[in-house]
Amino acid sequence: MITFTRLSAGLLACVFSGALFAVDKSDALRKTSFSPLAGEAAAKVSPLNSNEPLVFSAPPRESSEEAHKLYQPVADYLSRVTGRRVSYVYPRNWLLYQKEMTKGSYDIVFDGSHFNSWRILHLQHNTVAKVPEQQMFKVVTRRDNTQITSLKQLAGKKVCGMGASNLGTLALQSEFDPSRQPLIVEHISWTKVYEAVMENRCSAGIVSVAVLRKLDGASNFTRVIHQSRQLPNQAFSAGPRVTTEEQNKLARALTSAEAHKVLEPMLSANGVADSGLVLASKEDFAGMDAYLKDVWGYTR
């Protein structure tokens, strides 16, 4: 499937000159101001009772079978620590994930910083735990590909990447003029992107630095032609149907030593196996929703 989205030229100037945070940070912080609701306010937006499960999900970066192996143990752990059943739901594709996530179907979500920022702004989510390290993305070609030597040469060419709203894909597209974008060939995982590059099914691929380190840490098979700026990493967020007490339990549990064993397979699949999670705040993700500004389905 080939899709492409774009960020506006004005936004690009802000994001990659570093001015996004310099210009918009105070407004972004104001917009993302959110604390777990309590008392009457919480009751008004918390229709679930204690017998109804909370819904946990994450982007479909794996097959259904692989995803259930990674995320079902996390759902079981969250059920135990919150005292309320947490049900893991696998979205079949990125479009379904976008549809269900943006309409508030998911109560607990683990995904990218731009999605977290968007939910804080529009769905009253609160971030409870995050991957502490910043993340970056690299654009790579096969090492023996001498045709592509610079990023701008990829305009109009097939570039393999994750779904159209994935942060790595958006970071790549933001480097190009809106009228001269690469054609994004979507793949379900970073590993599949890497394999497609190796098989010459695209001119280049955009891959997470952490995952590329695992696949070709010595750069024996790939050549890097571009590296993104550092960006906030993935995080867990909880929606307004998760009570204040439950959000506090989630934050403590997800950042505990006990959680690391449960989370390790999931984190490893995302290239962060050596790191546990730390407490998160909404300010950590302020302004990241700007990456979704011109992506269909995220406007309000």
Is 0.85 surpassed by the pTM of this model?
no
Q: Do domains 2-7+136-227 and 32-133+232-292 have the same CATH topology?
A: yes
Q: What's the pLDDT tens digit per position in 98-143?
A: 999 999 999 999 999 999 999 999 999 999 999 999 999 999 999 9
pLDDT confidence band for 171 (50 / 70 / 90): very high
- pLDDT in the model for residue 33: 34
Q: What is the pLDDT of residues 222-252, one digit of tens each?
A: 999 999 999 999 999 999 999 999 999 999 9
What is the rounded distance in angstroms from the CA atom of residue 73 to the CA atom of residue 96? 23
User: How large a percentage of the chain has pLDDT more than 90?
Assistant: 71
Task: List the chain domain ranges.
Answer: 2-7+136-227, 32-133+232-292
User: If 0-12 CB within 10 Å is exposed, 13-18 middle and 19+ buried, where does residue 109 land?
Assistant: buried
DSSP tag of 135: B
Q: Convert the pLDDT of each residue in 179-223 to its tens digit.
A: 899 999 999 889 999 999 999 999 999 999 988 999 999 999 999
CATH superfamily of 2-7+136-227: Periplasmic binding protein-like II (3.40.190.10)
What local confidence, expressed as pLDDT, does residue 164 receive? 81
Nearest Cα to Cα of residue 212 among 149, 112, 128, 135: 135
Residue range 32-133+232-292, CATH number = 3.40.190.10
